[in-house]
Amino acid sequence: MRSWKEFLLAAVPLAAAQSSTTAPADGLTTAAGTQTGSVGTATINGSPTTYSVAFTVPASADVGPNLLPNIKDPNAKQAQQLCPGYKASGVERTARGFTASLTLAGEPCNVYGTDVEDLTLTVEVQTSHRLRVNIAPIYLDSSNTSHFILPENLVPAPKNGDLPQDIDLELSWSNEPSFSFVIVRKSTGDVLFDTRGSVLVYENQFIEFASQLPKDYNLYGMGERIHGLRLGNNFTATFYAADAGDPIDGNIYGNHPFYLDTRYFEVDESSGERTMVTTQNVSATGNYESYSHGVYLRNAHGGEALMLPSNLTWRTLGGSIDLYVFDGPTAEDVTKQYQSGAIGLPKMEQYWTFGYHQCRWGYKNWSMVEDVVNNYRAFDIPLETVWTDIDYMFQYRDFTNDQNTFPYDEGEELLSRLAANGQHYVPIVDSAIYIPNPNNASDNYSSYTDGHERGVFLTNADGSEYIGSVWPGYTVFPDWHASDSVSWWSDQLKQHHDNVPWSGIWIDMSEVSSFCIGSCGTGNLSLNPVHPPFGLPGEEGSKIFTYPEGFDKTNKSEAAMASSLSASQASAVAKATPPSTATTPYFVPTVTPGVRNVENPPYVINNINGALGVHAVSPNATHVDGVEEYDVHNLYGHQILNATYYGLLDVFPGKRPFIIGRSTFAGSGTVAGHWGGDNTSLFAYMYFSIAQALNFALFGIPMFGVDTCGFNGNSDEELCSRWMQLSAFFPFYRNHNTLSADSQEAYVWASVAEASRKAMAIRYSLLPYMYTLFYLSHTTGSTVMRALSWEYPNDPTLAAIDNQFLLGPSVMVVPVLGQGMDYARGVFPGIVQGEVWYDWYTQEVVSARPGQNVTIPAPLGHIPVFIRGGSVLPQQEALYTTLESRNSSWSLLCALDANGAATGQLYVDDGESLVPESSLFVDFAASEGSLYASARGLYNDTNALANVTIMGVASEPQSVTLNGEDVGNVAYDSSSKVLKLTQLTTTPAWMEDWVLSWA
């Protein structure tokens, strides 16, 4: 939700630096505190706000030791040079592969921990497309199991299928000079995984292994981070869930240790000989083929993947080597194999969730929320769902409403009106629970009291509750290992829903985030509620003066004023906190034989926040089963999403839960969607949003979107216009921004309103197509948003393209991604194979050469969209809500390919049931002047077929018939080659099969 580092760096300290055990100091709190003291005012979000003077957690409380990441340390010990590796022995064949013992091949190196001398190796063919390689310590008991083994109740392990007769993967191993293994694709001889030339390092806090890679390799995935789609060969991906405001290239909220590897080969047309090529010197007209495979490391510990010029080196702070290799051979195959066989298929979403959502941090009361809803209606911009950030809570406490600003009775009336109009409401829920002030008898909070009595909160090693700091003040954190935690969470959700009938839940701060290191609230609860250790946006020292790139060109005077105010604020901050001239030496963690240092492990990963406990629950926080947070930190967000899913099943029995969460792990897509977090109002972040979405398609979380128009900073008219149109083609479509920034709802600027209406008209008309894509994703693991290289696997020129994308197989979007541009640049794939592309707006065939980077006119308010020839797209009317659209007439958009053929599919159900009682499938096929529709299933859709548009009809037909009967309303455009049929029938469109013919 919020970029805490930005706030912290910009803030005027609100309390003198002091330890958290000292007496209160003056500061600000945005909600009335319970301590006695003076009262002041501040201007926040344009309005005077009254606050009590309360204790502010000092900024120093969230400052850890000065650590130098290993990858940046020129003097770091090199495990590959110092460690002996292992030797394999005792090989025993099994029904699916073999097992062996691995024994340290020399003296322990103990470079970043204590060497584990005896390991066990298990190799098994799990399915005809998946191979598992597992390496773990032989000697495990209750004292160390959690250090190495990821429990299946937290992250299910892929299961063996029927014993396969064959698989296109083969593993061989060697002990020369130490244990290594190679995985080969048998059909081509291509080496997919190769640890030769490196040694296996396996210590109690450090594991390292490497796989050789070809030159200029094409890897994708390794999330979550803001980066281009194709990962470079000089890049390190850090795996550690962090509350950080979308820094480019740094680790952020979630962890997905999975990659897709695509390799291209030039094929000699005469001999058929294949030669591997890089993407540096290739042509869209060449003769190529590609092979893709995937690799999943089932390990939840913090770690890194070093993508070096010649190899990929994995380093983790614990766990085991639990590798799963998927043979593809296409990128689509790999994605399906990973999702269907390893992490679980994406959940099916309710139909209404594909409408447009509006949110912001700064909606101060129900009246303001209703004004937003009414303004969207007044400007005729579709609005499906309105969201509220932490403003609605009583002093930022989960499952409460501030009765002065968001009273239950007023909310119930408003939400009842929304429901009557087919609209919805979603509130935020954070991941920490306020702990009341024991010296204030009126400071009651039943969510804490109930949870405390049921023993569902994380503890310190001594058994006392672990108390960190988040928005409401000093807080505790649910322990998802506790037996009552999920039922307690479900109870809180149900009780809140009884008061506020929301439709879904937004989970935030789930990395899990804390604004101080360690149990800083222990002994300090008499200070509660306390202010965070940084200024909130809009407070003195934290006012927002940033704008998108080029703002000085479009709004020169306003940009000059903002620059002046920003400089004044920076000067005031500098005067209040003069920069220190002292040099802080690096803290160098050391190895203690046989003992784990979980707070500062000897190997220092390149964590964006520094030490592991900075701005996060400390690694030594303890779960009820004795497991330390160090071993499961990356799973917290995944577990709270699971708990929320089951809670919503209790709230809405039989209906699909709608959840958007921030921190995710492999498999989170089975229960929730995700948004891209605290991005910034810059064109750069709009561009990166495409790669973000494509990555989460790989990770099995297709319900993805970003904060449209940007979260941090002020947006402007041009950026918001372009972004509102781009996000209209993302599955999750929401506008959201930060407290005190300029309003950026779609109606704020007339040009943005018009651009939004234009893009939403396309989106809403295509909702049946998008819903069908989601059903296919939910049942097969296919992707919804797609990279061009996945859909056209034999064109290496597409390998790095992430400035355009496909929505399913049939719709291509080429957005404008830069300031001041009135054009887009895009390629039209498949042209050399005869692919035909149509312009969405003119419905004419696009003229392009193979590989040509075409300049596409795109004045402000226009987003280029194209339809792939060979597609039949089902449509309904683009109306104000998804409910209205679902109850409107049907249309078909048929784009013929070069052979006059096209296919498509439609899936229909009730749009909400977890297990629909009935459903309907409609298949479409066009060929030789006829379009066929064939339905199966018992769902009763009563909407009529109104229109059919056929693109690519070479000449004007002399007759057009539907089931042999002449069609009356026919129009043919000889210039665009488009045949349009309107007012076709009043009978339900799919009640019986039909054929439409033209000749």
User: Could you report the per-residue pLDDT of 181-197, keeping only the tens digit for each?
Assistant: 999 999 999 999 999 99
Alpha helices in 935-989 (DSSP H): none
Transcribe 108-138 into DSSP letters. ---SSSPBP-EEEEEEEEEETTEEEEEEEES
Rounded mean pLDDT, 683-708 = 98
pTM above 0.75, yes or no: yes
Rounded mean pLDDT, 580-595 = 90
Binned at pLDDT 50, 70 and 90, residue 582 comes out as confident
pLDDT value at position 17?
26
Rounded mean pLDDT, 444-452 = 98
Structure tokens at 631: 């071993």
How many other C-beta atoms lie within 10 A of the C-beta of residue 745?
Answer: 22
Distance (Å) of CA 972 to CA 129, 872, 953, 976, 978 = 49, 18, 9, 9, 6
- H/E stretch holding 449 reads helix 446-454
- Of 458, 463, 494, 492, the C-alpha closest to 476 is 458
pLDDT value at position 368?
98
Distance (Å) of CA 336 to CA 129, 345, 697, 974 = 11, 9, 11, 43
Collect all residues with Cβ–Cβ distance below 8 Å to 374 and sequence separation of at least 6: none
Catalytic residue among 62, 332, 511, 941: 511
Please list, residue by residue across 98-117, b when 16 or more beta carbons sit within 10 angstroms of its beta carbon and e when fewer do: eebbbebbeeebbbbbbbbe
pLDDT value at position 644?
98
For the stretch 827-851, pLDDT in tens is 999 999 999 999 999 999 999 999 9
Binned at pLDDT 50, 70 and 90, residue 812 comes out as very high
pLDDT value at position 1?
42
Rounded mean pLDDT, 599-627 = 98
State the Cα–Cα distance between residues 537 and 623, nearest whole angstrom.
34
For the stretch 960-972, pLDDT in tens is 999 999 999 999 9
Rounded mean pLDDT, 308-316 = 97
Binned at pLDDT 50, 70 and 90, residue 34 comes out as very low
- Of 343, 334, 329, 439, the C-alpha closest to 671 is 343
- Per the CB < 8 A criterion, the answer to whether 615 and 8 are in contact is no
For the stretch 200-245, pLDDT in tens is 999 999 999 999 999 999 999 999 999 999 998 999 999 999 999 8
Binned at pLDDT 50, 70 and 90, residue 576 comes out as confident
pLDDT value at position 423?
98
- H/E stretch holding 798 reads none
Binned at pLDDT 50, 70 and 90, residue 637 comes out as very high
Considering the chain, what percentage of its residues have pLDDT values greater than 90?
Answer: 93
pLDDT value at position 46?
42
Instruction: Kindly tell me if the per-residue pLDDT of 649 is higher than 50.
Output: yes
Q: What is the mean pLDDT of the chain?
A: 94
> CA angle, 708 as apex, 705 and 710 as ends, to 5°?
120
pLDDT value at position 41?
39
- 322 catalytic per annotation: no
For the stretch 939-968, pLDDT in tens is 999 999 999 999 999 999 999 999 999 999
Rounded mean pLDDT, 413-427 = 98
Rounded mean pLDDT, 155-180 = 96
Classified as helix, coil or strand, 853 is coil
Instruction: Kindly tell me if the per-residue pLDDT of 711 is higher than 70.
Output: yes
φ and ψ at 303, to 5 degrees? 180, -170
Instruction: Kindly tell me if the per-residue pLDDT of 15 is higher than 50.
Output: no
Rounded mean pLDDT, 270-281 = 93
> CA angle, 545 as apex, 544 and 549 as ends, to 5°?
120
- 508 catalytic per annotation: yes
Structure tokens at 27: 């500061």
pLDDT value at position 54?
79
- 430 catalytic per annotation: no
Catalytic residue among 508, 629, 745, 802: 508
| HSE, side-chain direction, 13 A CA sphere, residue 195 | 26
Instruction: Kindly tell me if the per-residue pLDDT of 42 is higher than 70.
Output: no
pLDDT value at position 108?
98
Residue 641 CA, chain-centre distance (Å), reads 13
For the stretch 113-135, pLDDT in tens is 999 999 999 999 999 999 999 99
Terminal Cα distance for the chain, rounded? 58
Instruction: Kindly tell me if the per-residue pLDDT of 36 is higher than 50.
Output: no
Structure tokens at 679: 């991005």
Rounded mean pLDDT, 265-276 = 94
How many other C-beta atoms lie within 10 A of the C-beta of residue 142?
Answer: 8
